[in-house]
A and B are shown apart, each in its own frame.
Chain A
Amino acid sequence: QSALTQPASVSGSPGQSVTISCTGTSSDVGGYNYVSWYQQHPGKAPKLMIYDVINRPSGVSNRFSGSKSGNTASLTISGLQAEDEADYYCSSYTSSTTLEVFGTGTQVTVL
């Protein structure tokens, strides 16, 4: 089972919106609504930002939203802020023997 595919980097100016894609297959992203997104600042543990494709845990800003179309899930950050600069990883359940797979990771830069 290969990692889910994410762009290596995306960038935006403060206040803008950026969208990170996460592409898999019908065996993972496309087949189940079990996609999560994590934010990771340097030297820190990942933080859950979105689960079950669209849901935000308590305490996560509503500037973060998730969606899915076919085999591609997306994370959108609206009203980009300096504190959003971090690495972002998607993850999904997979019907392959791997069971759980992460994305390749995307570095978000706030210009």
Chain B
Amino acid sequence: QVQLQESGPGLVKPSETLSLTCAVSGYIISSGYYWGWIRQPPGKGLEWIGSIYHSGSTYYNPSLKSRVTISVDMSKNQFSLKLSSVTAADTAVYYCARCPRFGSTIYDYWGQGTLVTVSS
């Protein structure tokens, strides 16, 4: 069974960098598929942040592109998200998910989500 688990600080100060990791079990990332990050501000809808292919190719939401970096660590079978210069507007539950076919918006396995609060 494929499982994803997000981890990282739950509190980040304004202007600093948010860093999250998604550990994958039950599937080897290097085997294929895309791996994405999606966020959801409290009480609001979902927003696609970006995705990475196992080869390292990345795709980002243009609204966040200047601040986002997604990378993959095959040796640890995990992928990561970095979002720089955060503000209160970046407070959200951050989900990692697996995408079998980029652009299809098919996310078949999700992490449980982790709440990141931006506050001093």
Pair A97/B62 contact, Cβ less than 8 Å? yes
Pair B112/A99 contact, Cβ less than 8 Å? no
Contacts of B97 in A (CB 8 A): 45
Interface-facing stretch out of B9-17, B18-26, B45-53, B69-77: B45-53
Q: How far is the CA of A45 from the CA of B105 in the complex (A)?
A: 15
Which residue of B95, B104, B112 contacts A51 across the interface (Cβ within 8 Å)?
A: B104
Pair B110/A46 contact, Cβ less than 8 Å? yes
> In the complex, how many angstroms separate the beta carbon of B33 from the nearest chain A beta carbon?
14
> In the complex, how many angstroms separate the beta carbon of B44 from the nearest chain A beta carbon?
8
Contacts of B95 in A (CB 8 A): 45-46
Whether a CB of chain B sits under 8 angstroms from the CB of A30 is no
Which of the four size classes fits the interface of chain A? 20 to 34
Contact string against B for A residues 63-107, beta-carbon threshold 8 Å, 1 for contact and 0 otherwise: 000000000000000000000000001011100011111111100
Which residue of A34, A57, A103 contacts B108 across the interface (Cβ within 8 Å)?
A: A57
Pair B61/A3 contact, Cβ less than 8 Å? no
Pair B104/A102 contact, Cβ less than 8 Å? no
Q: How far is the CA of A103 from the CA of B107 in the complex (A)?
A: 15
Which residue of B46, B59, B63, B105 contacts A34 across the interface (Cβ within 8 Å)?
A: B105
Contacts of B2 in A (CB 8 A): none
Pair B46/A51 contact, Cβ less than 8 Å? no
Pair A93/B112 contact, Cβ less than 8 Å? no
Which residue of A89, A97, A98 contacts B45 across the interface (Cβ within 8 Å)?
A: A89
Pair B45/A34 contact, Cβ less than 8 Å? no
Contact string against B for A residues 33-76, beta-carbon threshold 8 Å, 1 for contact and 0 otherwise: 01110100000111110011000010000000000000000000
Give B contacts to A, CB under 8 Å: 45-48, 59, 61-63, 95, 97, 103-108, 110-113
Give A contacts to B, CB under 8 Å: 3, 34-36, 38, 44-48, 51-52, 57, 89, 91-93, 97-105
| Known interface pairs A3-B45, A92-B105; 12 further A-B residue pairs with C-beta atoms within 8 A, sorted by A's residue number | A34-B103, A45-B113, A46-B46, A46-B107, A46-B110, A47-B110, A48-B107, A52-B106, A89-B46, A98-B63, A100-B48, A102-B48
